[in-house]
Amino acid sequence: MTRTKALLIVAPLALTLVALLLLPLFVDKDKLLELASAAIREQTGATLTVEGPVELALIPRIGLSLADVSLAMPGEEQAGLQVRSLQLGLQLLPLLSGRVEVHTLSLDGLTSRIAATEKEAKIDSSSMSDAQLDEFYLQRRQSQAEAGAAAGAEVALALPLALNVQMLRLTDARLELLAADGAAPTVIEVQRLEAQDLNLDARPIKLQGKLRLPAEQAITLALQGTVRLDQQRQQLVLDGLEIELIGIAADLLKLQASGEADLNRRSADLQLLLEAAGTRGEGSLRYTAFESPQIDATLHFNQFDPALLALAGPDAAGGAAQQPAASADDPLPLAALRAIDTRADLTVDSALLGGHRIQNLHLALRAVDGVIRIDSLTGMVHGGQLQLQGTFDGKHNSATVATSGALSGLDIGSALAATEVGPIATGQANLEWQLSSAGRSRGELMAGLNGPIRLATAELVLRDIGIEGMLCKAVALTNQENLTATFPTDTRFEALTADIQLTDGSALLRPLRAELPGLSLTGNGRYELLNQDFDTTFKARLSPELETLDRACRVSKRLTAIDWPVHCRGNANGDAGKWCNVDSAKIIEDLTRNEGERKLKKEAGKLLDKLFKR
């Protein structure tokens, strides 16, 4: 090795050794603390106060170890931040020239109380008149536009922290977010947080940490990723932030986010990926405080189940079960709906809603000023194709609902099972509807439903109702014969159609038509939407084909000339076998009257013949 090369290696080592030997001679702890305090004030804007001991370390890096530290941020009269232990890792060469540059900043046992910021008072719209509501919407749009213009014109927001730290470590910290109304503060426990190359110059900052929100159902959050913060452009960029949440749902929730946010205009454009218990969702979300819609989301989920949103743990489930069910007479939450300003385009491969499994669900909606407009909702439900549009208008104090749509190929048995109604029918159904309502509660909306529904069925089978057997029994009675065949306990329809009119909380069947082998039915009735009671009356017309069921069921002309009344009444959740009966007394009355009329006509005919033959 040449002399020159040796000097290149030895000289830096010698200089470093000399610096370490000489540094204690001209740097004492008090002086270093003074320099460090000045550096912190310059780099973070905070005032440092130390009540505990101060220790100086030279190996492996020059640093200060402070105990019982408080930091007062700019504008604070009292220190809002206390630290059990603070360690500063300092750069050597700047220190030799009398400057302090922080390489690492480690805080342990930090407690910070963050005062509530002055927020615009929330306006309760629930007590406003309709005219006041119209004025409220107008003023809100104007205020939003003015705030947006001001945010776009103002200079870049000066952040209070001019940070430039190679490594920030935070352990066992507690943040208390004080409420403006004096309510209990929101507490965030930072178990661990590390930030590498903390800066405001748009260089990548690597984050890693674990936080906890203590509560009756605690939430734990673990995060890692890279962000960039540009103070000059007022821009926050998420190059890829991964978050794991425990306590939000019954299972671990994973969220990945990337995109950028404009801090000045309070807007963000994000790409999201969500995973939880087999559910995977991805898409885009835009938020902006000064534009409409404030939230604009396009998301695709492989599945959706409300059970995913249930809090974890049996205690949480029990607590939810103890909550009283919402009454149909409770006022609609119109004030909360009026605060929503959202456009959403959602696609779900498989969704479970109210016990109904919907495949290939697609929903496009817009919500603003209390009006929720469903531009399109399509999907496959119980084997049928669903398509509907609708509007919920809660802009004023009495809400209105309007919806139209169609459902074709519905599996009746599957639909009844999902609504926890017994297996009273099977087959397929096609429906078309155009409905409207108005009211101030869910019960009023249900009771006020009005409009037509058209129903057509195929391969319909009513379980435990043997209409053919009931009619054959009545026919055999008139024929004064006994039945010998065994009749099915179910009724199979060749066709059944109904024109249904919803009004005053009832479904009026006017008319209902049905075809069975050997007979046809026409009738009308009423079905109560709220309690599921029904009362219907059918008129059956018999045909000679009925004789194929049993010889005693043979039908003469006098039997085909009358209506055979079938009366059905009960509750949809009751015993189907007790719903219907044939009014035999009415049949005998009609037969007697018809027979009397026939004999009278016959005798009158004979009398006329005698008169004309004279």
Q: Model-level pTM greater than 0.75?
A: yes
Rounded CA separation 440/400 (Å): 9
Q: How many CB atoms lie within 10 A of CB 407?
A: 18
> Nearest to residue 396, comparing CAs of 93, 612, 126?
126
For 590-606, the pLDDT digits (tens) are 555 544 444 434 443 44
For 81-101, the pLDDT digits (tens) are 888 988 877 666 665 555 556
Rounded CA separation 75/96 (Å): 33
Extract the tokens encoding 439. 């009211």
Does residue 468 have a pLDDT over 90?
Answer: no
Does residue 515 have a pLDDT over 70?
Answer: yes
Contacts of 155 (CB under 8 A, 6+ apart): none
- H or E element that contains 112: strand 111-114
**Three-state DSSP class for 95?**
helix
Q: Give me the pLDDT at residue 117, please.
A: 61
The whole-number average pLDDT for the span 8-12 is 41
Extract the tokens encoding 100. 């302090």
Rounded CA separation 379/360 (Å): 5
SS3 track for 390-435: EEEECCCCCEEEEEEEEEEEEEHHHHHHHCCCCCCEEEEEEEEEEE
Contacts of 493 (CB under 8 A, 6+ apart): 427, 457, 460, 461, 462, 514, 515, 516
How far does CA 3 lie from the centroid of its chain? 76
- What ranges do the domains of the chain cover? 3-108, 457-600
| Average pLDDT taken over every residue of the chain | 81
Extract the tokens encoding 262. 């404009």
> Nearest to residue 483, comparing CAs of 504, 465, 493, 469?
469
Does residue 559 have a pLDDT over 90?
Answer: no
For 37-55, the pLDDT digits (tens) are 776 677 667 777 888 887 7
> Nearest to residue 534, comparing CAs of 491, 583, 576?
576
For 118-140, the pLDDT digits (tens) are 555 678 888 899 999 999 999 99
Does residue 465 have a pLDDT over 80?
Answer: yes
Binned at pLDDT 50, 70 and 90, residue 157 comes out as very low
